[in-house]
């Protein structure tokens, strides 16, 4: 099988790392769900359970200096880029030691030092941001790329089409990654788009459109690696459609009753973590005890992260206007 050969081209250490990263994202999200349901977290919550392979596969193709923009479902992207789960939990818990000192929360977390240019509560809002970043990266001549993650619903937005048009025209080093989980909020893709493959939309902008199995971390890595190589060589952007499925509803509290039970069961059987773990055992000779050890390590990491967040102080009310951009007119501050 061709896929077996591709897997062997990746070191055992990296393969094990991919599994651990996906486990980290999964358990991070599940623990956040628990705290949210207990009423301990403010704001809205959109978890990426089921979509871990997309974040890990794409970010595995990136280098230092590359940048990404995310979505309202962005915890996995940030973790895959190397974020500290302690500071992420602290931000979600609205504590001072969070990435944005409790001012970003789940929907607008950001860390520019990681090249993570932010989650975004606006559908498709990160697409033009990544396009602008790609323009700057091209001008710098450093061979870096920008990545924008978004869902299938975002490809109906004007920002998507305008961005892809300019990126192709100017041959910008940008990877447009559509995490197609088949639903735009509560609406099936076939109810809001006349096409089944989002990748077809690339033809309008004379750029490659690639479909990847979004539940197969190595297939995602293949697609992202090829697209990143094209971008670094000055050949322009690529639209990658990673077909995947979210195991939860659109937001925490949405029970997903609009999804057929047989559809849910089919995709649950294709769980990216379970299937990848099984492949490591079958193809790489990994022992189940090794998988269990990785899971235990993730639990220890996240338990420590939760303790760190719990110990972090709440911000004081007078901190609300710190870090807020202000202009002055005639010496008077405009807020």
| CATH classification code of 4-334 | 3.40.50.970
Name the pairing type of β-strands 332-334 and 146-151.
unpaired
Bigger pLDDT: 173 vs 328 = 173
Question: Is a pLDDT exceeding 50 seen at residue 2?
Answer: no
Burial of 188 (0-12, 13-18, 19+ CB in 10 A): middle
Instruction: Note the pTM of the prediction, 2 decimals.
Output: 0.92
Quick check: 3 pLDDT over 80? Answer: no
What pLDDT sits at residue 10? 84
For 162-185, the pLDDT digits (tens) are 999 999 999 999 999 999 999 988
Look at residue 122 and tell me whether its pLDDT is greater than 70: yes
Annotated domain spans of the chain: 4-334
Give the model's pLDDT for residue 193: 85
When pLDDT is averaged across residues 54-60 and rounded to a whole number, the result is 98
Q: How many CB atoms lie within 10 A of CB 56?
A: 26
For position 208, what pLDDT does the model report?
98
Higher pLDDT, 176 or 41: 176
| pLDDT at position 59 over 50 | yes
Q: Per-residue pLDDT for 333 more than 70?
A: no
Which pLDDT score is estimated for 110? 96
C-beta of residue 309 within 8 angstroms of C-beta of residue 52: no
């Amino acid at each position: 099988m061709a896929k077996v050969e591709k897997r062997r081209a990746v070191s055992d250490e990296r393969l094990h790392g991919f599994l651990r990263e996906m486990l980290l994202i999964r358990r991070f999200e599940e623990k956040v769900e628990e705290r949210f349901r207990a009423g301990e977290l403010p704001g809205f919550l959109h978890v990426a359970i089921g979509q871990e392979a997309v974040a890990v596969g794409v970010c595995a193709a990136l280098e230092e200096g590359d940048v990404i923009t995310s979505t309202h479902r962005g915890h996995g992207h940030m973790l895959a880029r190397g974020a500290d789960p302690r500071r992420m939990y602290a931000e979600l818990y609205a504590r001072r030691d969070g990435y944005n000192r409790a001012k970003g929360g789940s929907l607008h977390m950001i860390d520019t030092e990681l090249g993570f240019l932010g989650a975004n509560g606006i559908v498709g809002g990160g697409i033009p941001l990544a396009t602008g970043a790609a323009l700057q990266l091209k001008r710098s001549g450093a061979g870096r790329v920008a990545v924008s993650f978004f869902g299938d619903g975002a490809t109906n937005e004007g920002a998507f089409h305008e961005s892809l048009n300019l990126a192709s025209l100017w041959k910008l080093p940008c990877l447009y990654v559509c995490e197609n989980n088949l639903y735009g909020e509560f609406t099936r893709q076939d109810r809001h788009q006349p096409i089944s493959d989002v990748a077809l939309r690339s033809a309008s902008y004379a750029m490659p459109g690639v479909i990847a199995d979004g539940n197969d971390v190595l297939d995602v890595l293949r697609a992202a690696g090829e697209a990143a190589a094209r971008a670094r060589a000055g050949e322009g952007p690529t639209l990658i459609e990673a077909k995947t499925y979210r195991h939860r509803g659109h937001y925490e509290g949405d029970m997903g009753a609009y999804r057929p039970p047989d559809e849910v069961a089919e995709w649950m059987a294709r769980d990216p973590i379970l299937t990848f773990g099984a492949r490591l055992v079958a193809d790489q000779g990994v022992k189940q005890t090794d998988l269990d050890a990785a899971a235990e390590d993730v639990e220890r990491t996240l338990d420590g992260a939760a303790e760190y967040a719990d110990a972090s102080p709440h911000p004081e009310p007078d901190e609300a206007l710190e870090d807020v951009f202000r202009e002055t007119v005639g010496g008077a501050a405009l807020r």
